[in-house]
Structure 1
Amino acid sequence: MSYERTELFIDGRWRAPSTAATSTVISPATGAAIGTIPQGGTSDVDAAVDAAGRALRSKEWGAISLEERVGLLSRLATELERTAATRAELTSVQNGMPITLSVGAEGAGPPALLRYYAAIAASVPVEERRPRLDGKGITVVRREPVGVVAAIVPWNYPQLLTMFKVAPALAAGCTVVLKPAPETTLDALELAAAAERAGLPPGVLNVVSGGADVGAHLVAHPGVHKVAFTGSTGAGRAIGEICGRLLRPATLELGGKSAAIVLDDADLTTITQGLASSSLLNNGQTCHLSTRILVPRQRADEVLGAVVAVAESLTIGDPLDPATELGPMVSERQRRRVEDYIELGRAGGVLATGGGRPDRDQGWFVEPTVFGGVRNDSRIAREEIFGPVLTVIGYDDLDEAVTIANDSEYGLGGTVWTADIDRGLEVARRVETGTIGINFYDPDLGAPFGGVKSSGLGRELGPEGFFAYQQLKSIYLPQSATPGDYPA
């Protein structure tokens, strides 16, 4: 199948980009060209931000009632539900995500988030009246949309991570300029088409594709009021510096190098059943994965064997095949990066399985790879690889395990494996991270998600993700005021 897109979505209409440049869509499963996408320029960003600013103040969006806004979000959710299967396939075609994962994360996830945040918006009062502490009147505390949001999303979960930002932003009354990753632009343009069919007013959602210059121009644009970014820590630092200088709020969900702490009482069956999703999900291309596996030294050989068995059991293949559990890397460049780390690992640990390419004549595949006997100061234990590479690290006692887990610049995810949930909870409380699971890992869309240290700033998901797109205004009323004098 060939995918051809020639236009950007700005101000409620499709328009040719300001540049004549295009990019070729490459299938990671075959390495073959499967389509073409437009490349926008800085003037397209200007047009999109201007349109978003006008929409923010328009009677069609800025002045509508909460009920009308919720209705628009519901219509968009319905459109996304109608195209869920097609959109799931679109992600797998672009980035190699196994279709069984894509159906839930990329197909069902976005409309579910839209409905969730529409419900939150409907339940949160716009204004709250508080008596002053000095007793001299009333203060009205008002929640207002933060404004125009620049949403910049990566390629690994493009539709779901887009909706981490777009759903709460629209629910709060903001407008959005979305800049997708070059590898996964097709699904962003499909979202724009769904928004058009749902009747979102012009300028509420704009999509501008392009390279790093487009993203940088968007982040620094004077018409943007907030930046929401998911991606590498390096890019996040650069965005954070710009937003800091501009005093512009930013939510940054960045890299990770999370630890799986296997306790001495952990059940091997539980570990092997949960490891594929907690440590190798989406071909290892997931930021929160527990890729450092910490094991008691007296159980090191036993656990290493179990980890190897999991890695060797995964079915590698076409991401559109429902039997596939491990697909390709997103690009040839990403495969080279992963393979470079594997070579580093050969010098810093014992290769227990994998390390090469599976027996396939096309596509950017890497075998799931496990290293044993790794020290936590080795590069493969400290740097985010973003591929199916696991390191097994021994520890002597629980305090050392927690120390090793926390000896990382990152703090996004993590897991604890134990037969005693209460004991696991105590360990989880000691780990410096934004999220952590006990005997499994699966983010809860209704709870805050994000990291500490170099894993980012702020939180997405849950009610906290909604409040991140609002700003507070305090209105002081005189002592003579009564609630009936100033209706909400």
Structure 2
Amino acid sequence: MTDPIETTQLYIGGKWQDPHSTEVLEVFSPATGEKVGSVPVADATDVDAAVRAARASFDSGVWRNTPPAQRAAVLRRAVELINERGAEIGALVSAEMGATPGDVATLQQLAGTGVLNAYADATDAYDWEETRNGLFGEALVVREPVGVVGAIIAWNVPLFLFCNKFGPALAAGCSIVLKPAPETPLNANVLAELFTEAGVPEGVISIVPGGIETGKALVDHPDVDKITFTGSTAAGRAIAATCGEQLKRCSLELGGKSAAIVLEDADIAASAPMLVFSGILNSGQACVAQTRVLVPRSKQDEIVEAMVAVASTFVPGIPTEPGVNMGPIITGKQHEKVTGYIAKGKEEGATAVLEVPAPAVGTGNFVGPTIFTGVTNDMTIAREEIFGPVISVIAYDDLDEAIAIANDSDYGLAGSVWTTDVPKGIEIAKQIRTGTMGINWYAIDPSSPFGGYKNSGIGRENGREGLESYLEHKSILMPMGYTSN
């Protein structure tokens, strides 16, 4: 990044408009403290303008009546535009939230364009109309867009999350108003312009930057038909309560405290790099991070030694500097929270076998990889989502105990099994109450459903299931004796 990006207007209905609000949101790099840019804060009046534009465009049918194949083509064109400007967008995202350019390219751009292509594929393959024969004869089942979508996303992977909200909403034929996180609002404006350039009609998309009050105005708005939210479990509960009062559809992708179960037959040398990365990816700021590593007691020392060796190679620092492969924690407040959890782990009797020191550079909120042993599943660091690069190693004596520990959590978002016996790994994965599992690695697959059990959320994203969460299903009963053949 060079000069700060100073934006004075809001992107409402696919056009730049002067805001009603006079408040400005300034964005600073969590790595250097330098100003990255600013945007207007959308107040309740601005949110209303965005929702009214979305409602008008939806009711007009300009997008919802566009054939699904054409909507899919627009998503694919958006992918091309994102890739064409990938370096520029990646640099902006890196400056806003602190991830290294390599992590932005793989965890966000590749994943984001992947879900857009997957939603386009799902749109092409979907049965938008279906004839069924039932008790009274034929019925036509049609799938229609849910309406105006209000999307609220987190700061940890903003490019990916933007794509994972815009993709299914637009594929379904909805209009969408998106509130980016206050820490990372700049890239959302750039991406929204690309979707307009790709062919999304006027009125369909809007960006409303801001904090809690902006989000509340969007959730409360009576003309919003569905809320989709990615963020903390606490915020998700509040959103769900409001949606429940209004009988408004909602999908929630919330926190996690995922367990990686290492079996005795695991190839430790081969597993250690991905095992560590799945726990501290994105500086640990990932809802799917495998932050509880369950290991057989007989192999604990060997596994921990391998993990420490790998984790020691992660170098926190200014994300654009050579040799750095881990960025900062997003804010000073979050930095205090993470370091507080590390202190709490020690207080409760766990042993920090690795604490990579934070670099003394700039004003960055750096925390190095930290690995704890001697952790029991009732400790705070094993129960609560830390959202930092902290791994808790928990020893188990037999497989039943490992499964019980993995399931003994308020969360159920992700997880993994590490073994050379893949069929055995599958059987174990089926016993874990969590939305996604990996065998000998972990990733979110764009074509497969993603979401959580328990406090990790409601609903699913990605693939056919993700598309369907933005649709209503309507049955049209044919006259008795009527046949369409």
TM over 0.5: yes
- Residue in 2 aligned with 1:332? 332
Matches within 5 A, 1:93-172: 93-132=95-134, 134=135, 136-172=136-172
Determine helix, strand or coil for the equivalent of 2:455. Answer: helix
Matches within 5 A, 1:15-414: 15-132=17-134, 134=135, 136-321=136-321, 323-348=323-348, 349-354=350-355, 356-414=357-415
- Residue in 1 aligned with 2:429? 428
Change in Cα spacing, 1:105 to 1:372, as seen in structure 2 (3 Å) is closer
In structure 1, how many angstroms separate the alpha carbons of the residues matched to 2:121 and 2:419? 37
Determine helix, strand or coil for the equivalent of 1:105. Answer: helix
Contact 1:371-1:391 at 8 Å conserved across structures: yes
* CA deviation profile, 1:28-80 (whole Å, cap 9, x unmatched): 11122232222110111111111111111225323333343334333333322
Report the residue type matching 2:396 in the other structure. Answer: Y
Report the residue type matching 2:266 in the other structure. Answer: A
Change in Cα spacing, 1:416 to 1:121, as seen in structure 2 (3 Å) is same
* More displaced 10-residue stretch of structure 1: 229-238 or 193-202: 193-202
Aligned residues: 482
Change in Cα spacing, 1:140 to 1:155, as seen in structure 2 (3 Å) is same
Contact 1:93-1:320 at 8 Å conserved across structures: no
* More displaced 10-residue stretch of structure 1: 1-10 or 100-109: 100-109
In structure 1, how many angstroms separate the alpha carbons of the residues matched to 2:325 and 2:463? 29
Percent identity between matched residues is: 45
- Residue in 1 aligned with 2:456? 455
Determine helix, strand or coil for the equivalent of 2:477. Answer: strand
Structure 1 residue 453 displacement after superposition: 0.5
Change in Cα spacing, 1:275 to 1:208, as seen in structure 2 (3 Å) is same
Report the residue type matching 2:176 in the other structure. Answer: V
- Residue in 1 aligned with 2:441? 440
Structure 1 residue 335 displacement after superposition: 0.8
Determine helix, strand or coil for the equivalent of 2:411. Answer: coil
Change in Cα spacing, 1:429 to 1:85, as seen in structure 2 (3 Å) is same
Change in Cα spacing, 1:357 to 1:108, as seen in structure 2 (3 Å) is closer
* More displaced 10-residue stretch of structure 1: 79-88 or 390-399: 79-88
Report the residue type matching 1:86 in the other structure. Answer: E
Determine helix, strand or coil for the equivalent of 2:363. Answer: coil
* CA deviation profile, 1:171-204 (whole Å, cap 9, x unmatched): 1101100000011101101112212323421121
Structure 1 residue 297 displacement after superposition: 1.6
In structure 1, how many angstroms separate the alpha carbons of the residues matched to 2:470 and 2:304? 44
In structure 1, how many angstroms separate the alpha carbons of the residues matched to 2:370 and 2:113? 35
Report the residue type matching 2:205 in the other structure. Answer: L
Change in Cα spacing, 1:321 to 1:103, as seen in structure 2 (3 Å) is farther
* More displaced 10-residue stretch of structure 1: 373-382 or 241-250: 241-250
Structure 1 residue 355 displacement after superposition: 6.8
* CA deviation profile, 1:450-481 (whole Å, cap 9, x unmatched): 11010011100111101111111101111232
Contact 1:98-1:327 at 8 Å conserved across structures: yes
Report the residue type matching 1:28 in the other structure. Answer: P
* More displaced 10-residue stretch of structure 1: 11-20 or 218-227: 11-20
In structure 1, how many angstroms separate the alpha carbons of the residues matched to 2:245 and 2:185? 30
In structure 2, how many angstroms separate the alpha carbons of the residues matched to 1:64 and 1:414? 39
In structure 1, how many angstroms separate the alpha carbons of the residues matched to 2:430 and 2:67? 43
In structure 1, how many angstroms separate the alpha carbons of the residues matched to 2:128 and 2:265? 50
Determine helix, strand or coil for the equivalent of 1:280. Answer: helix
Change in Cα spacing, 1:68 to 1:433, as seen in structure 2 (3 Å) is closer
Contact 1:31-1:364 at 8 Å conserved across structures: no
* CA deviation profile, 1:238-258 (whole Å, cap 9, x unmatched): 111111121111111100001
* CA deviation profile, 1:149-187 (whole Å, cap 9, x unmatched): 111110011111121121111011011000000111011
TM-score in terms of structure 1 length: 0.95
* CA deviation profile, 1:342-384 (whole Å, cap 9, x unmatched): 1101112111111753343431111111111011111011000
Structure 1 residue 98 displacement after superposition: 1.8
In structure 1, how many angstroms separate the alpha carbons of the residues matched to 2:241 and 2:84? 40
In structure 2, how many angstroms separate the alpha carbons of the residues matched to 1:375 and 1:70? 48
* CA deviation profile, 1:117-168 (whole Å, cap 9, x unmatched): 2232222232111122x2x331010100011111111001111112112111
In structure 2, how many angstroms separate the alpha carbons of the residues matched to 1:84 and 1:395? 44
Change in Cα spacing, 1:238 to 1:59, as seen in structure 2 (3 Å) is closer
Contact 1:40-1:210 at 8 Å conserved across structures: yes
Determine helix, strand or coil for the equivalent of 1:430. Answer: coil
Report the residue type matching 1:247 in the other structure. Answer: L
Contact 1:129-1:139 at 8 Å conserved across structures: yes
In structure 2, how many angstroms separate the alpha carbons of the residues matched to 1:299 and 1:67? 53
Report the residue type matching 1:298 in the other structure. Answer: S
Determine helix, strand or coil for the equivalent of 1:320. Answer: coil
- Residue in 1 aligned with 2:469? 468
Report the residue type matching 1:369 in the other structure. Answer: T
